[in-house]
Amino acid sequence: MRCLVVEDDPDLRRQLEQALSDAGYAVDIAADGEEGHFLGDTEPYDAVVLDLGLPVMDGVTVLERWRKAGLKTPVLILTARDRWSEKVAGFDAGADDYLTKPFHIEELLARLRALVRRAAGHASPALECGNLRLDPRAQRASLNGDPVKLTSHELRLLTYMIHHSGRVVPRTELIEHIYDQDFDRDSNTIEVFIGRLRKKIGSDRIVTVRGLGYQLVDPDQASA
């Protein structure tokens, strides 16, 4: 899963980048509203953390422009504690949730997980595809109750696919959502990760739809 952080405070920006990376996200960062607007307008994200008090272009303007352009990515806004009017303006501009500064990183991560989960149409905190289960908070996968050991990139790939299980996901979409902007992207790497995942969760769980992409399925349902 891929997240954009738009925050002008360098210390908080670094803290958010590290925490989100540790939580399994591919993270891009922007230090002002103009850069943030450009990235959100040109790159696909699963969630955005957007400060409202930004230089060059304020966060409300950034969000309004994204929504007018049809961007549906979940956005969590950050506001100053004594600026309740910012929360109202943020929601009116199209925000999905908010946090007031200062905040606990664990709460931000929990809110982001909920936003991403709801955007993909999932109600339960744990994601399942048959007897394959993923706990995004603990970053753990299990099969038939037994833990599945995954590398960070394998986990990121499985997380995106289980959020979109049953749908054919193009290879280009996977590349865009599991790597950050600065990563040297190679489409062949996706095939390597898919191959490794198949060995760990079963080759019949990830179907190759030739010319279209990959589909995560429940093999018991597929054979029924």
What residue segments make up the domains of the chain, in order of their start?
2-119, 127-222
**Which range among 51-55, 184-188, 212-216 shows the weakest confidence by mean pLDDT?**
184-188
Closest CA to 207 of 173, 167, 174, 178: 167
pLDDT at position 66 is 98
Q: What is the average per-residue pLDDT within 93-101?
A: 94
DSSP 26: E
Question: How much of the chain exceeds pLDDT 90, in percent?
Answer: 74
Task: State whether residue 211 is helix, strand or coil.
Answer: coil
Q: What is the mean pLDDT of the chain?
A: 91
Beta bridge partners of 26: 2
**What is the maximum alpha-carbon separation in the chain?**
57
The answer to whether 110 and 19 are in contact (CB under 8 A) is no
Predicted model pTM:
0.87
Closest CA to 7 of 108, 124, 119: 108
pLDDT at 184 over 90: no
| Cis? peptide before 102, omega within 30° of 0 | yes
Burial class (CB in 10 A: 0-12, 13-18, 19+), 32: middle
CATH of segment(s) 127-222: 1.10.10.10
DSSP 182: T
pLDDT at position 183 is 67
pLDDT at position 134 is 94
Q: What is the average per-residue pLDDT within 62-78?
A: 97
Homologous superfamily in CATH for domain 2-119: Response regulator (3.40.50.2300)
pLDDT at position 83 is 74
Burial class (CB in 10 A: 0-12, 13-18, 19+), 21: middle
Q: What is the average per-residue pLDDT within 116-141?
A: 89
What is the residue type of 162?
Answer: I
